[in-house]
Every structure is written in structure tokens, then in C-alpha cells.
Structure 1
């Protein structure tokens, strides 16, 4: 067995050291540029922990709505997402096949350990299928001081009802007063108000009336999302009622055959921006822009032209993710 040893001359050693130093310098410059780029877009530094947001919602096996949609949105915004599952929903964008609520004790344990272990900066709720679920969430979040976005998922986009009258009462009595923001669509707002709008109101007056009355009753800001009342105007307009002040957030109406999970993504985006420290009105405006952009870039699979992944979040540019 033989071995050989090579010896670097002083000149070759010096040249190697110089080359290594040059590459180290380039790497440091690249790292600084990446860090600056991320921070300028509102993302945390790669060397620091990201903000944390918690979604308390149902699981959608098609991953278009529920906690799956929420996690995609949080990740897009540079937010670490936590999940507390309330129900397992067997569904596709066209149909809900089955819903299995989880035991309230299991929901309680999930939320308890997550709040204890992580610095949760914001929370959103989605599907809370039983009055017991609503009560557990209200009990654990009351007095926490954590911004809470309540997306009252009372039915699916295909019409399946998730909430009984008992659940509606629990929302009104326990959860709505704790919310930093409610994000119902018009049918959900009408159910929470316990009535339909009167025939004397015009199409333009109905969402304004619903947002105002629900906001005054709950004592919290209400963002009435406009997807159910905007088709004829060619604008998807959302109405924010906040302490007597009304603000509109508008974007182009995008005519798609399915809107599965769009509301989940919208409320998750607001929650994610709140976790990043963005003020409420700005968070809504940014979330509106993000959802509109993702709808414009929706895609479908050849196997079934009716089933769309509406929110093509992975196709959004860095500018659209701000």
C-alpha cells in the first residue's frame, strides 16, 4: 500500500485562500440581498422565527377550503401556521359527502397546548359545527388579547348546512363579542341576524344594512364579503362596518363556476397579515388583493373540468404576496 502527499507551494496556497475569501464575500452579499428582499416584503428575517397564526377549523380532504387552505395562505405570507381541527369533512368543490365533528374535549386539548407552547399572534375560526365547539373556543380565547378573526362557516359553497340554530345562538352569545373582525357573506350575516332582509331594501342597501346591524349587535367590526351579491355589478365589493364607519373594498368580479374555499383563504390572509403586525384596514386591503390575484390565476385539471383549484397561490408573484 502506498500513499502520496502533495504539498502546496506558498503561491498556490495564497491563491486558494484568496479564492475562498472571494466566495465567502459573494455568499455574504447574496445573503444580505435575500434578507433585505424578504424584509422589504414584510417577511421575517431568515435568522428569526416567523410570526405564528392559529386556525381553528375543519379539515377539507380536497384541500381547497378549511385548515388546508388556511395553511397554504399562512405559508405564502411567511407565517407559521398552527391548526386545531374541529371536524373531518369529506368533500370536493362540487359536493360535501360527509362531515364528522370531533369531540369537544379533543378540540380543547389542541387549542390549550398550542396556546401554551407558541407565541400565537392571531387566530381565525372557520367551521365550528357544534355549540360545544363554539363554547370551547370562546372559553379559551376570552381575555387572551389575541386578535381573533371569526369566519362563520355556516354552510358550504354548494349549499350544505353546517350550523344548527343552537350553533347560531352560541355564536351570537359567546364568540361574536370576542372577535376582532367578523367575515360573513350575506347569507351567513342573515342567519346570524336571525332574519332575511326586507323587500323594501335595494340590492345596494342590503349589504350595508346587514353589516351595520350585525356590527352594532356584536360590537365588533364586520367585513361583509361581496361574492354573493356582486355578479350583476361586475365588481366584487366587500363592506367593512367599523364603529359606525363604512369602508368598501372592491375588485373585479371573476366569473368562475366554483368559489370553493375562497372565503377561507380571504379570512386566513387577513389573519396572516394581522400576525405580521399589519393594521386591520390594511390587512383587509392586502388580503383582498391577494385573493383577487389568485382567482385570476386559477387552474383546473383535465380529468374534471368542473373541479377547480381556485386560489392558485403558488403562481403569485412576490409583488402579489406583499
Structure 2
């Protein structure tokens, strides 16, 4: 890690509405004191209501973006979000396995609006990304689609089970190691539809923590706090699921136990 700031590479799709994907990643990384670098995997025409169109970036161009920044600037941690194809997933995994740094994989399948962002072949290729990831951060539907907790942990990675898609007045987020539960956080459920980009924000915040030298538990706690405060500070934009208020987060204190 450099003395100035952690260098964080986001490998993800671009959200034209600025709420999720690369845009949410850059905001999060910047607000947490990191230097954000990007490898864009897909260009989406997207707003708070839904995804209208997706243009996948060729795999060779994704790898060229990664190699360009890694060879010059260097990288302390990687966040992986939307991957446009199975070919891209396998190629990215093959490149990253040689870096030996923290890798956070957010297995994006469906946008907050409900639009599908990964086909069945791409999801099947997620196994290779889980093999190289330090930690995987699915929401509850993604957890089920990937075969559950034990299946993900069998890849040798850590696992964050995000509880935002659950029910009840309390949200439970858990950090698991292959050997068992490491940390469990409980917080009151925030009754809001301003949640576009929540998963991207959390995964990027986690990557910044790890790239800064925090241990995994501390990085997990910081990422949860940052994400919850960003939801509370959402500016209320758009007619659908609005973006978070990354730019308004001033501290990371929260009410979890």
C-alpha cells in the first residue's frame, strides 16, 4: 500500500444514472480516501426505474484496462461487480489470480430495479471468480442462486451474507470464514426505496478497507456503516429506486450491535 492512499480497482459496469456500478464505486472509494481506478465491463443505459440497454465491452478491452492501471499505478485491492459475459469472468479471474491482493467479488445478477444483468452462462462462470476472491458479498437471492453459504465457502473465500433483502424490522449482516461465523451485525431496517447501488457501495467500501490495511472484520464494520449512512443521506432523485448520498457521508457511526 502507498503512504498516500489505497489504490482500488473497480471492475464493473457503467450506470448512466450514476447510482450503481462504476459510478457508485468511484464515489465510495473517493469518500473513503482511496484512489479509484476502473475497468468497465459493460455500458448500460440505466436510471432509477430500470435498465433500458446494455452494451458489453469486449473481453480483450476489459483486460487491457486492467493491465494498463496495474502495470503503471499498481493496485492494493480489487472490487468486482457486473461482469458482462462468461468469457470475461474467466479471463478476469485468470488475470487476478496472479496479483496476490485482496479481491472483493459482488456477484451482480439483477439490478435493484429487477433488470437481469447476468445470463446463466455468466453465473456459472462465477465459480472461477469465487476461487480467486478474498471475500464474496451476495445478497440473499444471489446467495441462493450460487448454491448457499457452504457452496460459496467451499471455494476458500470469506463470505458476507447481506440481509437487506430479508424481512422484519432488523437487518442482519454476517461475515463468515470457511471455518465459521466471524462477525454478525444487526441494525434497524431503513424503510426507504432509495437503495440503488447499495451492493456496489458496500463492496467498494469493503475493498477500500482491505486495501488500506484493515483486517477483514474492521473493514466489514466500516463498509456496513458507510453504506447505511449513505442510504440515510440519499438525495431523493428519480422516479424509482433512487441513488445513495455518498457525497453527504461525514462519519461512519451506526446503530448496529
Map 1:116-265 → 2, pairs under 5 A: 116-172=71-127, 174-193=128-147, 210-211=148-149, 213-229=150-166, 231-232=167-168, 234-246=169-181, 247-265=183-201
User: Number of residues paired by the alignment?
Assistant: 252
Asked whether the 8 Å contact 2:77–2:210 carries over to 1, the reply is yes
Taking the aligned partners of 2:239 and 2:82, their CA distance within structure 1 comes to: 27
| Structure 2, unaligned runs of 5 or more | none
Runs of 4+ that moved beyond 3 A = 304-307, 318-321
Greater fraction helix: 1
Taking the aligned partners of 1:140 and 1:296, their CA distance within structure 2 comes to: 37
Matched, 1:57 2:57: no
Residue by residue over 1:73-121, the C-alpha shift from the partner in whole angstroms, topping out at 9 and shown as x without a partner, is: 0100110000000000111121110111111111111111111112200
Query: Greater Rg, structure 1 or structure 2?
Result: 1
Asked whether the 8 Å contact 1:214–1:222 carries over to 2, the reply is no
Taking the aligned partners of 1:162 and 1:305, their CA distance within structure 2 comes to: 21
Map 1:97-116 → 2, pairs under 5 A: 97-116=52-71
Q: Give, in angstroms, the shift of residue 244 of structure 1.
A: 2.4
Asked whether the 8 Å contact 1:189–1:214 carries over to 2, the reply is no
- Describe the shift of the 1:111–1:318 C-alpha distance in structure 2 as closer, same or farther (beyond 3 A): same
Cα-Cα RMSD: 1.7
Asked whether the 8 Å contact 1:85–1:107 carries over to 2, the reply is yes
Taking the aligned partners of 1:159 and 1:307, their CA distance within structure 2 comes to: 10
Residue by residue over 1:9-58, the C-alpha shift from the partner in whole angstroms, topping out at 9 and shown as x without a partner, is: xxxxxxxxxxxxxxxxxxxxxxxxxxxxxxxxxxx8xxx53220000000
Structure 2 residue aligned with 1:313, among 243, 246, 253?
246
Matched with 1:266 is 202
Matched, 1:300 2:254: no
The normalised TM-score by structure 2 is: 0.93
Asked whether the 8 Å contact 2:86–2:121 carries over to 1, the reply is yes
Taking the aligned partners of 1:291 and 1:49, their CA distance within structure 2 comes to: 24
Taking the aligned partners of 1:317 and 1:108, their CA distance within structure 2 comes to: 35
- Describe the shift of the 1:308–1:163 C-alpha distance in structure 2 as closer, same or farther (beyond 3 A): closer
Taking the aligned partners of 2:227 and 2:153, their CA distance within structure 1 comes to: 27
The normalised TM-score by structure 1 is: 0.74
| Range that drifts further, 104-113 or 154-163 | 154-163
